[in-house]
Amino acid sequence: MLGGAGILLTASPALAAEVSYKTECIPPSISGLPPVQGTTKVLVTAPAEAKVGDEVEVVWKTVQAASKNPDVLDLDKDTVKPTGTIRIGGAGSGTLSMEGPRQNPPIKKNSPMVLPDMKGKLKLDKAGEITLTPDKYTINVSKPLSTDTKCSPKETVGAAATIKVTDGGGTTGSGGTTSSGGSTSSGGTTASGGSTTTSGGSTTTSGGGTTASGGSSGGGGGPSDFPGKEVAVKLSCVSPGPKAVTSKVSISARKSGGSYELTVKTAKGVMTSPAPLPKGALKPSMAVRIGGADSGKVTVRGPANPAPVAAGEMVSLTDMTGTYKPGASGKATLSPGDLTITVTLGGSDIVIPCKVQGTSPVSLELDTTKQAGGVVGGSGDSGGSGGGDDLAHTGADDTGALRALALVAGTVILLGGAVFTFTPWARLRR
């Protein structure tokens, strides 16, 4: 009865094992820091034994992060949030998404990163022994700017925990697992927490967008990649932005458990800069509109421009990313929404909102299953890669690379004039 109600079960005492592995961490591009080579030490805790149908909790404790807070700025309390991935092996396959709270003590400059524990829930659907192996992880820091430091293994990592899954009669055999909260699994099984698995590999177009009835498979299981259709969107921007602009936009999705990782691409070279822009000065974000069976908005963000832009040079917006957690079951539509361009110069932000004019065409349609805390009736905020209002401070011990947050150095040269001249639609078609 407890299992059927989705109650977390631990059929036997939890076991923990620590593993260490060589890791490369990539600081945010706007920091100017080089990649960090270090060692990650992780303690994974999970039940030693469980039964088919149980939903167990897995805990990732970071004993040592591969990078530290560089000698630039102190990190305030409760500004650090980790997310990560555990690979499922042995009798099972797939991945389990892990997430920790934004919780940490104050961290001084040039000090080890202190990360809160990450947790994930794993649904066991077949008998056998499964292994849990820590994999890549991301560290997000929310102040003074939002950025991510992404860390990944550079050697084979050993299993940190094993769960013996029985079929209720005490026997074990081969089988796989499915997990809730963002994990994927092979064999086309359905993830706990309401995510759906569909078969096939084709896509169809409905209502002007791409219907995600198939897509490419990840891990040998159900579809995970859903490319969106490129659509034209008309926008009207607030001064000092242009009065009107039309751009091509596409929204694509990658399935992650019951949620979808979104990527929004705009046309390349849609604007020119009337004045020089330093590296890291321009960041885009968009409120993707959710319709059909679901409703609300999902914020996607892009990293800052990776290279300086000369006066008169064409400017392209970076790809924007975010997470869509369905708030309803059925066919949900995703359409481009309002765009925001933020220019940071001389320590000041120039925010240029651009509103969608008329009907926003559908770029993608997804078959969704309602998730707890989904987007229905409101807005989701993913804090996508490299966007938002915070700066990641994990990285190498390079004391000069982030001095005074160099991305905001320089003169405010855009105030009082038009910021961008957008390329006419005829040029976009060419």
DSSP 101-156: -S----B-TTEE---PPEEEEEEE-S-EEEEEEEEEEEEEE-SSS-EEEEEEESSP
Do residues 266 and 412 touch, judged by C-beta distance below 8 A? no
Q: What is the pLDDT of residues 248-272, one digit of tens each?
A: 899 999 998 889 999 999 887 666 6
Confidence band for 316, pLDDT divided at 50, 70 and 90: confident
Q: What is the C-alpha separation between 177 and 186, in angstroms, rounded?
A: 8
Convert 99-113 to b/e letters by CB count within 10 Å (16 or more is b). Answer: ebeeebeebeeeeeb
Name the region of 353 (left: φ>0; alpha: ψ -120 to 50; beta: rest): beta
At 240 the pLDDT is: 61
Query: Given a cut of 60, is residue 395 above it in pLDDT?
Result: no
Do residues 246 and 273 touch, judged by C-beta distance below 8 A? no
Query: Given a cut of 70, is residue 187 above it in pLDDT?
Result: no
At 8 the pLDDT is: 39
Q: What mean pLDDT is predicted for residues 74-91?
A: 92
Burial class of residue 142 (count of CB atoms within 10 Å of its CB; 0-12, 13-18, 19+): buried
Query: Given a cut of 70, is residue 219 above it in pLDDT?
Result: no
At 224 the pLDDT is: 56
Q: What is the C-alpha separation between 293 and 370, in angstroms, rounded?
A: 10
Paired tokens of 429: 């078609």
The per-residue DSSP string of 66-93 comes to: SSEE-TT-PBPTT-EEEEEEEEEEET--
3 state DSSP class of 254: strand
Q: What mean pLDDT is predicted for residues 218-247?
A: 72
3 state DSSP class of 408: helix
At 30 the pLDDT is: 67
Query: Given a cut of 50, is residue 128 above it in pLDDT?
Result: yes
Is there a cis peptide before residue 101, judged by omega within 30 degrees of 0? no
The alpha carbon of residue 361 and the mean position of all alpha carbons in its chain are separated, in whole angstroms, by 24
Do residues 69 and 393 touch, judged by C-beta distance below 8 A? yes
Q: How far is CA 341 from CA 157, 325, 420, in A?
A: 41, 25, 10
At 241 the pLDDT is: 62
Q: Return the percentage of the chain with pLDDT > 70, whole number.
A: 67
Worst-scoring range by mean pLDDT, 23-32, 42-51, 237-246, 417-426?
417-426
Q: What is the pLDDT of residues 402-413, one digit of tens each?
A: 222 233 333 333
Radius of gyration of the chain measured on its C-alpha atoms: 23
Report the sign of the C-alpha dihedral through residues 226, 259, 339, 415, in that order. Answer: negative
Residues 6+ positions from 280 with CB-CB distance below 8 Å: 29, 30, 304, 305, 344, 406, 407
